[in-house]
Amino acid sequence: MFEDDALRYAVRIDEFGPEGARPVITGRRDIPTSKVMTRFGQYVDCEHNVERDFVRVIDFDPRFRRIQHQPHRLFYVSSGERVQYVPDFKLELTSGNYIVEVKTRREYQRKERVRERLSQIHRVYESLGMSFIIAFDDVIRIEPRFSNIVELRRYRSLEVLDDDRKAVIEHLKGCGSDTLTNCASLVKAEHGPSVIRSLAANHQVELDFSSRISMNTLCKIPSTSENETRE
């Protein structure tokens, strides 16, 4: 049984620094590469678009703290053969740390060897007391959450006056929630709706993602607010 192999043979993890276990592949048409900046100012290398979208989405999770691309190389022995594996990401949330493999659902369902290998890897990490998860493309890109996040990221660099930010936050603290239209009317800036989107992109305001963002979208203070660090 594999469980016996995982305990009988030496399992080794070689940790790597911020640059990852190996250079990110560039210049290949079939694997477009990109860098994504998180809300903490960290640039994350991504080897394909599904990895890029995973980082975009997890960056909007209030539990998110840090992510590292290709954090280590795992070695183990199965059925007498030496196996090595480099995970896509190490994810740090307030709820714990996770090793993440990003996969398309189509590849996972079509290739039995992929399913068997990832099941094996899961058991190895489990034997080491580490949490391993597979992030599938159809979950990463679930709508309307994904489109809302892509839209809001465009407003992240928009500068918001401190008085406008405080006016919106104090209003939401008093009423609990209100529409984007009403919140936008509180600011002095010319483009009030853009200000609200910028506040949401920078996690000062939380928007309802149950439908596409519109002027009727409800706004509220995030359940895990970062406002205290600015006030």
- Give the other-Cβ count within 10 Å of 188's Cβ: 10
Q: Under a CB-based contact definition with an 8 Å cutoff, are residues 204 and 227 in contact? A: yes
- Strand, helix or coil at 21? coil
What is the pTM assigned to this prediction?
0.85
Q: In degrees rounded to 5, what are phi and psi of residue 147?
A: -65, -35
**DSSP string over 123-146:** HHHHHTT--EEEEEHHHHT-TTHH
The domains of the chain, with CATH numbers, are 2-140 (3.40.1350.10), 145-229 (1.10.10)
Q: Rounded to whole angstroms, how far apart are CA atoms 169 and 204? A: 8
**DSSP string over 200-219:** HHTTSSEE-TTS---TT-EE
**DSSP string over 79-111:** TTEEEEE--SEEEEETTEEEEEEEE-HHHHHH-
Q: Rounded to whole angstroms, how far apart are CA atoms 136 and 57? A: 12
Residue 134, strand partner residues: 101
Q: Which residues make Cβ contacts (< 8 Å) with residue 27, sequence separation at least 6?
A: none
- Give the other-Cβ count within 10 Å of 12's Cβ: 11
Q: In degrees rounded to 5, what are phi and psi of residue 190?
A: -65, -40
Q: Rounded to whole angstroms, how far apart are CA atoms 50 and 71? A: 18
pLDDT at 19: 55
Weakly modelled stretches of the chain, pLDDT under 70: 1-10, 16-32, 224-231
- Strand, helix or coil at 147? helix
Cα torsion at 48, 51, 56, 57 (round to 10°)? 140
Q: Under a CB-based contact definition with an 8 Å cutoff, are residues 12 and 77 in contact? A: no
